[in-house]
Structure 1
Amino acid sequence: MDSTTTSANLEIKQQKIVIENNYGEKLVGLLHETGSKEIVIVCHGFHFTKEYSMMVDFCSALEKHGISSFRFDFSGNGESEGLPQRAFRKEIDDLKAVIQHFTQANRVVSAIIGHSKGGTVVVLYASLYQDIRTVISVSGRYNMHSGLEDRLGKNYMERAKKEGFIDIKSKKGQALYRVTEESLMEWMNTNMHEACLKVDQDCRVLTVHGSVDEVIPVEDASEFAKIVPNHELRILEGANHDYTNKRDKLASVILPLIVANMHRL
């Protein structure tokens, strides 16, 4: 079902779109249609969905500049089919399927934005493909080994090898998600240093990170800046992982790059 709103005298249509990935799974997303030929793809983080408020805020900010955007659920999340993945390969494939869908529809994907795990996914995508000129990673992870024990518990590797998986539960004992041995190994073997070296010189990469991020250390952002060839680093003082009370500032950092690069297309 479509809903129509008006932003700065511009008619915005929000339309649910279903895209099939290479695994035959249906990916569900919401297109914020302004009528622009260019479109920005917005990627959520781990254990989030397209409905996370930051994803909605990104799209709303783009609407005000007349830029269409698409936020979608990675496979195994939200309304999309499949099993949730701890690792990256599947989500990179999902993103590729989404980009191909809009390219085949004669749209220009002018930028990809990702938050948290999604921020790492968009950089990994740029290391494998050269079809996107603007990549924005918000609070993406560089060091794949940091914080694993905090999230998975002690002796996580031994437990994963013994059982084949680790079930992560809430403090109340409710099952949140399952980490398989295979996805854990893929996660740990993801080499961001090598990936960053493969990002094309013509691809403009912006890394944004909060100075008080409690989930992914701000030091990870500095590592991206050391390696990615065409890179800009912005640290938002006082911002946490969710950019609480800093969303307007976050938008003011991201939007100028997208708008400027659209004018160059």
Structure 2
Amino acid sequence: MKKETICGLNGYHIPCVNNLRGDERTAVIISHGFGSSKESPTAQAISAALSEHGIGTYSFDFPAHGDSPVTGDLLRIANCLNDLAAVEAHVHKLRPAAEIAYFSSSFGAYINLIYLATRPHLGKKSFLRCAAVDMPGLFRNGTSPEQYAQLREQGYIILDLNYLHPLKITREFYDDLGDHDLFQLCRPDMAELAMVHGDADETAPVEAARRFAERFGAGLTEIHGADHRIMNPGGKEQVINCAVQFFKTK
């Protein structure tokens, strides 16, 4: 895997990692989940699996995540979309003949779907793992009265839910979530979508994924007994197999 930083559209650099060799016909941009990073176990596993089939991958860190040089003050939806746009442009420059596609997890899937709905994009296929399709509702329901009081009084809260490191979440980020409802933004013609989701996911419940898949024509594979991380026996392998078949199919 090759590490590099690229210049983003927001005035800071974006840490990235890739396994591009030069002969790929498909390059998959990987977007990580909330509190995770470009080198999450899922990102590494899918990169290794796709590489075996001649498919390249390119992963990056969202603002305030992983090796990002910025704080949670810059964790905003527009900044995340700009970072994805910068990564996509860079991958296209590196491999102009390769078809671009997307693999994203949880929050990364939420961002990827907003990107497909609102920005010009090169990719025509997107694989969504444990997609947080109701990210606004997850934050609204998961924020305690005490945390809402902190948001009002100091403008931010600090979340530390087994993340790589604690995240500063601002009042403006909450406002961003309220402005980006996927069920209002998305369209069936944005891209070909495939989803995989654990039916025991308590972080991003599968019911929302079912509603999204039915409304927007996404193929949904449910993994019995799997939680948000899909760490049950055979779960990771099922995700990988579904993704490989999705990206290999023309």
Structure 1 counterpart of 2:88 = 99
Task: Flag the 1:253–1:241 CA change in 2: closer, same or farther, 3 A.
Answer: same
Q: Please tell me whether residue 24 in structure 1 is matched to residue 8 in structure 2.
A: no
Task: Flag the 1:75–1:168 CA change in 2: closer, same or farther, 3 A.
Answer: closer
Give structure 2 stretches of 5+ with no counterpart: none
Query: What secondary structure is seen at the aligned counterpart in 2 of 1:33?
Result: coil
Q: Please tell me whether residue 75 in structure 1 is matched to residue 66 in structure 2.
A: no
Structure 2 matches for 1:166-185, cutoff 5 A?
166-169=157-160, 176-185=166-175
Cα distance in 2 for residues equivalent to 1:44 and 1:119 = 8
Instruction: Find 1:41's aligned residue among 26, 29, 50.
Output: 29
Task: Quote how far apart the aligned CAs of 1:56 are.
Answer: 0.3
So what's the TM-score if we normalise by structure 2? 0.88
Cα distance in 2 for residues equivalent to 1:215 and 1:31 = 29
Structure 1 counterpart of 2:205 = 217
Aligned partners of 2:198 and 2:225 also within 8 Å: yes
Structure 2 matches for 1:19-168, cutoff 5 A?
19-34=6-21, 35-84=23-72, 87-105=76-94, 106-128=96-118, 129-148=120-139, 151-168=142-159
Greater per-residue strand proportion: 1
Structure 2 counterpart of 1:232 = 219
Query: Which stretches of structure 1, 4 residues or longer, exceed 4 Å deviation after superposition?
Result: none
Query: Could you list the per-position Cα deviations for residues 8-65 of structure 1 after superposition, in whole angstroms to 9, with x for gaps in the alignment?
Result: xxxxxx2112111101211111111243142111111110011210110010110111
Specify the structure having the higher radius of gyration (Cα). 1
Cα distance in 1 for residues equivalent to 2:5 and 2:140 = 36
So what's the TM-score if we normalise by structure 1? 0.83
Instruction: Give the structure, 1 or 2, with the largest relative contact order (CA under 8 Å, sep 6 or more).
Output: 2
Task: Quote how far apart the aligned CAs of 1:158 are.
Answer: 4.0
Cα distance in 2 for residues equivalent to 1:86 and 1:137 = 21
Query: What secondary structure is seen at the aligned counterpart in 1 of 2:82?
Result: helix
Task: Flag the 1:112–1:169 CA change in 2: closer, same or farther, 3 A.
Answer: closer
Task: Flag the 1:22–1:145 CA change in 2: closer, same or farther, 3 A.
Answer: closer
Aligned partners of 1:127 and 1:200 also within 8 Å: no
Q: Please tell me whether residue 259 in structure 1 is matched to residue 248 in structure 2.
A: yes
Q: Please tell me whether residue 187 in structure 1 is matched to residue 177 in structure 2.
A: yes
Greater per-residue helix proportion: 2
- Which residue identity does 2:10 align to in structure 1? Y
Cα distance in 1 for residues equivalent to 2:161 and 2:27 = 37
Task: Flag the 1:255–1:179 CA change in 2: closer, same or farther, 3 A.
Answer: same
Aligned partners of 2:10 and 2:82 also within 8 Å: no
Deviates more, 1:59-68 or 1:129-138: 129-138
Tell me how large the CA RMSD over aligned residues is.
Answer: 2.1
Task: Flag the 1:145–1:133 CA change in 2: closer, same or farther, 3 A.
Answer: closer
Query: Could you list the per-position Cα deviations for residues 128-149 of structure 1 after superposition, in whole angstroms to 9, with x for gaps in the alignment?
Result: 2342100111111122343436
Cα distance in 2 for residues equivalent to 1:141 and 1:55 = 17
Task: Quote how far apart the aligned CAs of 1:107 are.
Answer: 4.5
